[in-house]
Amino acid sequence: MVTMPRARANGMELEYDSFGAPTGAPLLLINGLGPQMIGWDDDFCRLLVDRGFRVIRFDNRDVGLSTRPEEPHTLDDMAGDTAGLLDALGIRAAHVVGASMGGFIAQLVALNHPERVLSLTSIMSGSNGPDQVAPTDEARALLVEPAAETREGRIERARIAAAIDRGYNPAGFIRQLQAITAATGRLERLRSLRVPTLVIHGDADILVPVENGRRVAAAIPGARLVEIQGMGHDVPPRVWTQVADEIATLARQAASAC
């Protein structure tokens, strides 16, 4: 892993790092609501490097070591951050992979900045707005559960001490959640996409139920849907190889179509 300086992107300072040779096909990982870039596990990133990618991960605004603007923002703003990061790194276009809220952002990068996207992978994500299938009551309760008051309690909740010590920011989580809540539906806009697209979803997801992934895949012309049995709102180690293989297959298809 090579640690890079912060990049100035869309008025934000974004903390990022990269894996793999600079000559690899650029692949940008966008994380979901709350997690920092280290939520994309090093070993998963290396699996992608083994498949020929230069993998870039970063802290979204309001989490980790990136700028915490304190004022409200939108998912479109965060898509602008992502495109700005590519500018800062001198990358014309990349394979864009987003999970959960990161999938929302990845879709918006493809819609708002289509020339920057070689392929789109939307993982355990949906379309927002009235076409979104809501979380179960159980999942909704988890979203609004108060943060633990002590460091030890937060570690138990998050199961990762490194993220707590690196850049814990509950106010940023709330602002990101507000951005999701305020977002309008994208389903009709997604029908206009002409980028090679992969939609991955677990059939046991209670936070973003699998029907959301099915609707996104049905809306985007030519999109391929991969449903993973028993996967919830997470990308567990047992599926990393499968997910990396699916992303690599999509990238090959995108390259052959050029």
Q: What is the Cα–Cα distance from 214 to 221, expressed in whole angstroms? A: 13
**For the chain (length 258 residues), average pLDDT per consecutive 10?**
74 96 97 93 97 98 93 97 97 98 98 98 95 81 55 48 68 91 96 97 96 98 98 96 98 89
CATH number for 2-135+170-257: choose from 3.30.565.10, 3.40.50.300, 1.20.120.1200, 3.40.50.1820. Answer: 3.40.50.1820
C-alpha–C-alpha distance, residues 64 and 34, integer Å = 9
User: How high is the pLDDT of residue 70?
Assistant: 87
Catalytic residues, by residue number, are 100, 205, 233
H or E stretch including 92?
Answer: none
Q: Among 136, 142, 104, which Cα is nearest to 123's?
A: 104
Query: Of all helices (H) and strands (E), which one includes residue 221?
Result: none
Write 253-256 long-range contacts (CB < 8 A, 24+). Answer: 253/119, 253/196, 254/95, 254/118, 254/119, 254/195, 254/196, 255/25, 255/118
Is the separation of the CB atoms in 227 and 203 below 8 Å?
Answer: yes
Report domain extents, the chain. Answer: 2-135+170-257
pLDDT of residue 4: 55
pLDDT value, residue 257? 81
Query: Whole-prediction pTM value?
Result: 0.89
- Nearest to residue 95, comparing CAs of 105, 110, 85? 110
